[in-house]
Every structure is written in structure tokens, then in C-alpha cells.
Chains A and B, each alone.
Chain A
Amino acid sequence: MISQLSWKVGGQQGEGIESTGEIFSIALNRLGYYLYGYRHFSSRIKGGHTNNKIRVSTTQVRSIADDLDILVAFDQESIDFNFHELRDGGIVIADSKFNPTIPEGSNVTLYAVPFTDIATNLGTSLMKNMVAVGASSAVLDLDIGVYQEVVEEIFGRKGQQVVEKNMEAIRAGAQFMKEQLGDSIQTMKLEKADGKKRMYMIGNDAIALGALAGGARFMAAYPITPASEIMEYLIKKLPALGGAVIQTEDEIAACTMAIGANYAGVRTLTASAGPGLSLMMEAIGLAGITETPVVIVDTQRGGPSTGLPTKQEQSDLMAIIYGTHGEIPKIVMAPSTVQEAFYDMVEAFNLAEEYQCPVIVLSDLQLSLGKQTVEPLEYDKIEIRRGKLVKGELPQLENKGYFKRYEVTEDGISPRVLPGMPNGIHHVTGVEHDETGKPSEVAANRKTQMDKRLRKLKHVRFNTPVHKNVKHEEADLLIIGFNSTRGAIEEAIGRLELDGLKVNHAHIRLIHPFPTEEVSPLVQSAKKVVVVEHNATGQLANLLKMNVGHADKIYSVLKYDGNPFLPHEVHTKCKELFQ
């Protein structure tokens, strides 16, 4: 019996690889296993190798596994491309149709299963993925009955006959595989899971759901990988709440439309990836100087330019913080798990209105598209705070005076009224302006208004600016990361501790303004600091040096080949520092 295994399905894009992984993982989720799924795909619709790697465990997992137990292959390329990941004793289950072969001399067993033939005999070769699901389940010794519900949900609208045929395909695959396995069936039998109901979702689902829970009722966005799922979810859900999503002509329109809607009082977001964020920079500056709340999601991918559009990277960090010309108040958050992505989105809308500034929620491809098991989200934790939004009646303005929308206050935050309110008339402009919003180039006013705007960020209240796992007062090593690297870092820390090192972990969740007070003591009490990040220049490490100092003991572990960190990579690189 094992408590954890890693399974991968590979084939040509557009061949149903997705649904094989979907059905397999949904069933496992219903049984109460913790899952982590990551897709390898390319920027094309049909053809080209694609795979979906799923880790199954009886405890929470947040990283891709180092190796592979089971590879399901629909073509020889899938074997050739992924074989190196298989551990000693691993197995390949491949469609016998293409006469699969594996390299000689390896300690891996190949099972050729007639996926296509079994499916064709049952009615259509399209069901070959179901045969593969059945075969996989036999290896894990799963009760096939769990698929009944899942298959009904997916194929129910096509009729009971289709449901039954698909179930037959699963059963046939399982039966064939059982006979092949014979006595070796016990080697990958999974321990029973707790059977608890949990959510299984990608980061983008959580971001979109968090936006809904956070009161967003409008979205303006332009499609882009890996952000589109956010708008697609909201297109499905917002109409029932009276809201809408507009697919704009470009990202500039998306951002400025979101600014217009927020100015007029609706919580509105836009979401994009690096290329879109580059186009939004001028608009973000406008939101900054006009003190208009707006929430922008950046799902980072490989850059620059079109870069690696379907691959993991974390290289937008500096651009997001400093990309806008001029200086504005801006909040940048970076959730590291799907749960955090949900709660952070709710909070992003609160902070945007409380501090009246743009809030950028950073994600990365691995967090946005990686699918993970999520402990129940709590309704009672959802809180809506609208800051200094003025409600109720306003005193009459004398002599066509304007409402002091940019009144200089101690905390820098001014009362905010929405267009449509009687006696709230004021001007809004991206030109430097006075307290009523009227353009002003007066030197003293410029300084007063700049100071007022920037003062707002002096005391940003964010519940957990740093996720900390600090077990040691004095540590040999402090590992720092942000966004999706959390899982790989956590696993690496477990192994480093077994190696005898004292390791602390700080995952930065509030990127800007940088939580110096929280991070500084951790850096001071560590002999060495390693910043793990997916870029080539060590952007977070530089940010750390800038804010905390101690450049002489800060090291970088970088990966920018498009693939997410594996735990063993972080482990090995960190260990090298102590040899």
C-alpha cells in the first residue's frame, strides 16, 4: 500500500487527453484524495504532444512530483518524451495499437492495452480515454463504481445509453488490466482516503470565484493564456447576478473600461498576462493619480514579448511594481495557493476601495492552471469593506464649488463620491490637480498631492503579508519565494531538515509595499538566504536586497526554462550551498 503516487497521461493535443485526466482526477477527488494536476501544453489547438501529470496523495500536495509511477501513453512520442521521469519499478500503460516500445534495460514494465480496439468494439474509438481510465484504476485498485456519478454528470445530457457505453469502456479497461497485472496488482494499491468532500480547482477558478465573492459585478478583459479562464467563468456566472463581462478590443480598453466602471461605483476587474499588463501600464498610472480603485490580475507566463505563452515563469515582478511611468500608490499581492487566491481576490477589492488605488494580484501559470485540492472555503471569512465611500446626503455646494474629492487628510485617503450623487460634483483628471480635482501646476500643490497619494501606502493593512514557516530562532537557511513555488519549497525543506539543516521558509504574499518589517528579522537570523524564483535575473532577490539589505548572504536559485520547479531541484541547489 502506498499513500502517494504520480500518474501522467500523454498524447496528441486535441485527442481527449484532457478528459482522460479530468475524469480520473474528479473521481479520485470524490474519494477524498488530495490532488495536484499540471498540464504540459503548447500554443496550438490540434496536434503536438500534450500531457497531464496528476499527483495523488492522502495528504495535501502542492507541487508536481519529482518522478512518475504510471505513464499512460496514447502514442510513442508520449513514451519517448516522458520516459525519463519514470521511477524504478514504474509502469507504462500504452495503447497496443501503435506497438509501443520502451528503452531496453530499464526497470519499468510496459503494459500494452488495446485502448482503441476495446473502445471501437464498444461502439466508438472516442471512448479510448475511458478504457485508459479503467486500466489506470485497476492499477490503483479503485472501485470502478466511483465513476458512475462522474460519467453521468459529463455524458448525462447525451442520454443513458452513452453513459452506459462509457461505463462499459471503463470496466473493460479495468478488467483487461487486472488480468495483465496478475499478482503484481498490490504494488501500487492506494491507501484509502478519508472520503471528505473537497473542492478541486485551478487557480483561475479561485480567482474568478473570489472576484464574485468580493463583490465584482463587471469585468472587461481581452483573452490571453493563461488568464482566459477567469473571464470565461465570470461570463457564465455574472449575468445571474445582474452583472456583465465585456470582451474588449484590446487590453488598453479592458483596463480603462474597468477604471471607468470603478469610478462609477462598480467593483470591476480585468485579468491578463504579461503582454496585456505591458499595454495597461499607462492606464494603471491614471488609476493611481485619479485615486480610482481597480483590480488587475496578472497571470505571469514566459516572457518577454510572446515568449513562452504556455509555460511557467515569474518574470513580471519588477515590471508590475515599477512599470508605470511616474510614481503612484499601488498594491501588489501574490497568493501562493488556490485558497489564498480566493481570499486574496476578496481582499484585493477591499484594499482597492480602502486605499483608492490600483491593486494588482499576481499569479503565475502554475498557480493559475495547476489544479489542486482545496479545503472548504469559508463564507464567514468573506467581508466587504468600501473604505471612505460616501453614502447618504451631501451638503449643498456653494457657488458651483466642487466636492473636495482629493481633500488632504492625515492618512492621505480622501472621501469618495460616485457620479450621479447630488452635491458631489468634482473633476477627475490624470493631470496634477488640487483638492477639488481641478488641474493645477502650482509647485506647493504638486508636492502636497504627491505626498498625500503616496502616504496612503504607509499603513497598508493586509492580514498575512508573509506566509511564514519559522521553526528555528537561528536558521542555517531561509528560503524565500512567491506564488506557486510554495509546494516545491515546502517539500525541499522537509528533505533539507532530514539532511540536518535548520531551514525557515518565508513566502512573500504582499509584494508591494514590501513587508520589510516582517521579512527583515528572518533574514537577520539566518546564516544564508536563498530566493527561489522563476526568472533569469533574480527579481525577488533584488527586491529583497533593496528593502532588507544583507546582499552578501542572499543567493538565488533560478529556473526559467518554462517548467515548474520540482522539489528535488530546490533541495539539491540549496544543499550545494552548504558543501
Chain B
Amino acid sequence: MATFKDFRNNVKPNWCPGCGDFSVQAAIQRAAANVGLEPHQLAVISGIGCSGRISGYIHSYGFHGIHGRALPIAQGVKMANRDLTVIAAGGDGDGFAIGMGHTIHAIRRNIDITYIVMDNQIYGLTKGQTSPRSDVGFKTKSTPQGSVEPALSIMEMALSAGATFVAQSFSSDLKELTHLIEEGIKHKGFSLINVFSPCVTYNKVNTYDWFKENLVNLSTIEGYDPSDRDIAMQTLMKHKGLVTGLIYQNKEQKSYQDLIHGYSETPLAHADLQLSKEKFDELISEFM
């Protein structure tokens, strides 16, 4: 059986020392091993940005695509081979700005993949511009007077879009993050895990200390029930989205693959490509 070490490769990340993404990398490696995967059974599909490099830092199949499009690529991979475990990963700019259309539709489509967003509320690789997750008043190179656009309430948005698994975590809490990724992988449908992953270089406001002060762990809220969508929404609104833990899970809803008519139960990638003569003749006759 593979251990988390088997998911390490010999590539040195080009992230800044102290970057929150290191923990996400470690959590994916641990979670993959904990759910019993072998490296070749996992495909990590990532977007563009500092965090997008993550698919190259895990010893598994990896596809580093184009900006904002990790999700459609990942969904294509899963549709082609339903036996693969597919993790999509990227930053908040990737998923909630350029790729927002895909995020919402991947949520409602509910294909069985796990999407991990490394949310640092800033554009890092382009050296410090505002993100859709930046707070009002946040000063960046592109908002020198402070951002006037409100930050997207991403967890509420996911619930509204019909998400069946919504979780949020923090880079400093490797144990919880690993657990949530495991649960996301096991979830039969689309799982969204937003991770507060501080940028130590360009975000001097939302720092590790800031999150420690402001985040509320759902385990501290008595009687919190992640199967209740109403409570999930209310709790998110009450705490301005600054909660961690499993926010909502619908275990009843079937995944896209299990709902669509006729879809092969074995990986399509293994299908016989040759049409039988009989099938061919049948198709031809319909045009006569």
C-alpha cells in the first residue's frame, strides 16, 4: 500500500517560503494515501497561477492546463475514465474570476471530482493585483485606492448553485484539511474545498495570524448539522463566510455519471472503438 511519501516527487516547488500551498500539497499527498490510492490511480488537474503548479509537485498523473480551465479538463478526464480519482486544483483567481463560469456549472453538473481552491485573496504570480476574494478597501497594485468591489461569498454561492459537498479549511490545520480532502474524494459527486492559503509576499492583511483570529471552526458550534442546507447558509452569513470544516454535504444526490442514460460502467477509455458491422448497417439504414 502506498504511503504519503509515495505521492512525493523530486521536484522542488517554486513557491515562496511560508506559502500556504505547501500544506495543501502535503494534505493531498496524505489524503490520497489514506484513502488507499496508488499514485497512478490519481490525476491532479490544475489551473494557472502559483497554486496551479501543484499538479507538478505530486507524484501522480498531472495536467497543468490553461488559466481558469482546470475544471472542464478535469471533468473530461473523469468522463473518460471513471476509475481514476480526479482532483482539480487552482487559485481563487483561477476558479472565481476567469473560471467562475466553469465553477458554477461544475457544481451543478456534479461529476465525481474534488476541487481544491487555494484561496489567498490576491493574484500572486502576476505580482499582487486584486482578486474576486479580496475584501473591500484592500489595496493592491490594481486597486491603489482600495478595492471597491465586494468579495465573492464563495461558499454561499456554491450552496446556491446546488453543491453536494462544500467544505472550507485553513493551511495551518493540516489534520483537518487532510480529513476534508479524504471526505471530498470519497464523496460521490462534485466536492468543493476552499482553503485559506495565505500569500506571505503580497497579502499583508489576510495573514496566518489574521485567519487564526477570525476563523470559526464548525466543530465549536454546538449541534451544527452539515446535512442541513438552511443552517449551512445561515451559519455562513452569520460568520461572513469565515468558517472551517464540512459546511454541507448531500449524500443522497447521485453523481452525474450515475444519472445519465447509457453511460458505461467501465471506463470509456477502455472501450472497443470499432463499430460492429451490424451496428454500422443499422445506423446507415436510418438515412435511406
Q: Which residues from chain A sit less than 8 Å from chain B, CB to CB?
A: 29-30, 197-201, 205, 209, 212-215, 217-218, 220, 237-244, 246, 248-250, 252-254, 256-268, 282-283, 286, 290, 374, 376-377, 379, 382, 384, 399-400, 402, 418-431, 438-439
Contacts and interface: CB of A to CB of B under 8 A. Distances in A.
A426 B9 CA distance: 11
Contact of A239 (B9, B104, B262): B262
A56 B262 CA distance: 40
Contacts of B172: none
Given A256-B73, A260-B75, A249 B38 contact: no
Most central of A244, A267, A283 by chain B CB within 10 Å: A244
Nearest to B60: A425
Contact of A200 (B63, B65, B288): B288
Contacts of A259: 65, 73, 76
B30 interface: no
Sort chain B's interface into a size bin: 35 or more
Q: Which 9 A-B pairs have the closest CB atoms?
A: A239-B262, A260-B76, A215-B273, A242-B264, A265-B269, A264-B80, A260-B73, A261-B76, A429-B64
A420 B61 contact: yes
B19 to A, nearest CB: 17
B84 interface: yes
A422 B76 contact: no
A244 B260 contact: yes
A29 B73 CA distance: 43
A218 B284 contact: no
B179 interface: no
Contact of A266 (B53, B61, B271, B274): B271
B269 A266 contact: yes
A420 B273 contact: no
A399 B284 CA distance: 53
A249 B55 CA distance: 25
A490 B240 CA distance: 70
A239 B40 contact: no
B64 A427 contact: yes
Given A220-B76, A420-B83, A428-B64, A399 B10 contact: yes
B283 interface: yes
Nearest to A290: B63
Contact of B273 (A209, A384, A430): A384
A466 B21 CA distance: 54
Interface of B: 8-11, 38-41, 43, 45, 48, 53, 55-56, 59-66, 69, 71-81, 83-84, 101-102, 104-105, 109, 260-264, 266-271, 273-275, 277, 279-281, 283-284, 287-288
A286 B55 CA distance: 16
B112 to A, nearest CB: 14
Contacts of A382: 274-275, 280
6 contacts: A215-B274, A242-B268, A243-B262, A263-B73, A290-B63, A429-B63
B56 A264 contact: no
Most central of B10, B41, B284 by chain A CB within 10 Å: B284
Contacts of A246: 75, 79, 109
Contacts of A283: 66, 69
Contact of B65 (A220, A419, A430): A430
Nearest to B63: A428
B56 A212 contact: no
Contacts of B74: 260
A440 B190 CA distance: 33
Contacts of B8: 400
A420 B41 contact: yes
Contacts of B261: 239
Given A242-B264, A244-B262, A256-B76, A425 B59 contact: yes
A239 to B, nearest CB: 3
A290 B61 CA distance: 14
A422 B80 contact: no
A242 B269 contact: no
A256 B66 contact: yes
A199 B284 CA distance: 7
A248 B99 CA distance: 13
A264 B287 contact: no
A264 B81 contact: yes
B105 A419 contact: no
B263 A242 contact: yes
A399 B43 CA distance: 20
Most central of A240, A263, A268 by chain B CB within 10 Å: A263
Most central of B9, B41, B77, B266 by chain A CB within 10 Å: B77
Nearest to B83: A420
B157 to A, nearest CB: 15
Nearest to A242: B264
A562 B11 CA distance: 55
Contacts of A218: 76, 79-80, 268
Contact of B66 (A238, A286, A425): A286
A422 B42 CA distance: 11
A428 B62 CA distance: 6
Contact of B76 (A268, A402, A418, A425): A268
A280 to B, nearest CB: 11
B65 A422 contact: no
Contact of A438 (B56, B84, B273, B284): B56
Given A424-B40, A430-B66, 13 more contacts: A197-B288, A200-B287, A213-B275, A217-B273, A249-B101, A262-B76, A263-B76, A265-B270, A268-B80, A382-B275, A420-B269, A421-B40, A429-B55
Contacts of A263: 63, 73, 76-77, 80
Contacts of B79: 218, 244, 246, 257, 260-261, 266
Contact of B40 (A248, A256, A400, A422): A422
Nearest to B283: A209
A383 B66 CA distance: 33
A253 B102 contact: yes
Contacts of B277: 379
A253 B264 contact: no
B284 to A, nearest CB: 6
A289 B262 CA distance: 34
A431 B64 contact: yes
B266 to A, nearest CB: 8
B40 A423 contact: yes
A419 B56 contact: no
